[in-house]
Amino acid sequence: MSVYNITDILLFKKESGVEVKRIYIVVPCYNESDVLPETTKRLCQKLEGLKQKEKITGDSKVIYVDDGSGDDTWSQIQAISRKNPHFEGVKLSRN
C-alpha cells in the first residue's frame, strides 16, 4: 500500500497560492485485510488533526479502491464506510 505525506501535499498547495479546503485521499488496496484497520486508524487521526488545524474541511474523504482482492478487503471497506462517513469504497473486478 502506498503512503503519501498529506502534510507535504498541503504545503505544496499553500506555497502555490491555492487554498485547500476539501481533499480526497485515494488509497489503492489489493489483499490489504491485514493492514486495513491500522491504515484506517492512522488516516482518521491525520484527518482529525488537519480538521482541528483548519487545513481541511469536514467533508474531506478517504476513498479505498479494492483492486480485485482475493481476501476480505472489500467487506472491511464496506464496514469502515458504514461506520465512518469520511470513508468510501470502490470495488474493481481486477487489478
Q: For residue 49, which of 95, 90, 10 has the smallest C-alpha distance?
A: 10
**Cell for 23?**
481533499
pLDDT of 1 reads 44
pLDDT band at 94 (very low <50, low <70, confident <90, very high): confident
The reported pTM is 0.79
**Cell for 77?**
471497506
Only one residue has cell 506555497, namely 15
Q: Looking at residues 42-68, what average pLDDT do you find?
A: 94
